[in-house]
Chain A
Amino acid sequence: MVVPLSHYLALSVALFALGVIGVIIRRNAIVILMSIEMMLNAVNLAFIGFADYFKAVDGQTFVFFVLTVAAAEVAVGLALIVAIFRNRGSIYVDDLNILRW
């Protein structure tokens, strides 16, 4: 019994939606970054589902690239959060409003 493609896509959409909700409702910048990771993971899941469906390895190669980009993003993002915390004493995005007009 093979898992149909629609199941992978449905789970991927659900995880992506959870990530979007997290980015919208949370104030803690670290948790927002985690939610972004979850969204990247959901996209990876769609890639893997399609790779399994087409029996092609290209989808898995793309997941490899997404993984490296995610690692780079987390490293830079967390460094930014540490720098912001040093300068402003808070990582809640409500307190970071200097770019707002």
Chain B
Amino acid sequence: MQILFFILAAVALISGGLVVFQRHPLRSALWLIVNFFAVAGIYLLAHAEFIAAIQVIVYAGAIMVLFLFVIMLLNLRQPEAAPVIPHIGQKLLGAVLAGFTALIMIYTYRRASLPAGREVIPGLGNTESIARSLFTDYLLPFEVTSVLLLVAIVGAVVLAKSKLK
């Protein structure tokens, strides 16, 4: 289980690095799909089967198809310029800030006293317990989510119309 986790984590990190550090947007998109699959595998290890399935369907399926369509639609000719080499002062300041943030995070993690885990409700599958949680405790956020999706659909259609006035 640990070994599987490390393999999947390595795949996720390498593909994530390739998304960021490599010029071609199409290849970035394809590596991002690999990244999403690796993370979905980690979800499976963490006993979140429903979320893993949703991750593959929504992220690796729908969202990435959208990305690929837009990349093909725009058909960029000129390549991306090389990143600007920052000033030495900027580099120093960035390193100090990043190190400080890392220290705060490690300190918080060390100080935090995590209570022991709760017991699993027996006899309920993963999907069933998520459904129970969604339709009882989180019913209002769930309904608000559907409104959000409606707004997003309308917004996307309005924005992508041929003439903006």
Residues of A within 8 A of B (CB): 1-3, 5-9, 11, 13-15, 18-19, 21-22, 25-28, 30-31, 33-35, 37-38, 41, 44-45, 48-49, 51-58, 60-61, 63-65, 67-76, 78-83, 85-87, 91-92, 94
Contacts of A94 in B (CB 8 A): 81
B46 near A78: Cβ-Cβ < 8 Å? no
Give B residues with C-beta under 8 Å from A: 1-2, 5, 9, 12-13, 16-17, 19-20, 25, 28-29, 32, 35-36, 39, 42-43, 45-48, 50-51, 54-55, 58-59, 62-63, 66-67, 70-71, 73-74, 76, 80-81, 83, 105, 109, 114-115, 117-120, 126, 129-130, 132-134, 137-138, 141, 145, 148-149, 151-153, 155-157, 159-160, 162, 164
Taking a contact as CB atoms under 8 Å apart, the answer to whether A78 and B51 are in contact is: no
- Distance, CA A30 to CA B20, complexed state (A): 11
Determine the distance from Cα of A73 to Cα of B58 in the docked complex, in whole angstroms. Answer: 13
Whether B36 lies near A41 (C-beta < 8 A) is yes
Inter-chain contact A3/B46, CB cutoff 8 Å: yes
Question: A21's closest neighbor in chain B, by CB?
Answer: B20
Which residue on chain B has the smallest CB distance to residue A91? B74
Q: Using Cβ atoms and an 8 Å threshold, which residues of chain A touch B54?
A: 64, 67
CB atoms of A67 and B59 under 8 A apart: yes
Q: For B32, what are the chain A residues with a Cβ–Cβ distance below 8 Å?
A: 34, 37-38
Closest partner residue, chain A, to B50 (CB atom)? A60
Q: A27-B80, A79-B155, A91-B74 are in contact. Are A71 and B35 (CB under 8 A)?
A: no
Assess A61 versus B25: contact at CB under 8 Å? Given A37-B32, A72-B152.
no
Beyond known contacts A25-B83, A31-B20, A49-B46: 5 more, CB 8 A cutoff:
A19-B20, A57-B126, A60-B51, A71-B62, A91-B76
Q: How far is the CB of A11 from chain B (nearest CB, A)?
A: 5
Q: Which residues of B contact A27 (CB under 8 A)?
A: 80-81, 83
B118:A52 contact, CB within 8 angstroms: no
28 pairs, A vs B, C-beta closer than 8 Å: A3-B1, A18-B17, A25-B83, A26-B20, A27-B83, A31-B19, A33-B67, A34-B67, A35-B20, A37-B63, A41-B59, A44-B51, A53-B114, A57-B130, A57-B132, A60-B51, A64-B51, A64-B130, A65-B145, A67-B58, A68-B145, A69-B148, A71-B149, A72-B152, A75-B153, A79-B159, A83-B160, A86-B162
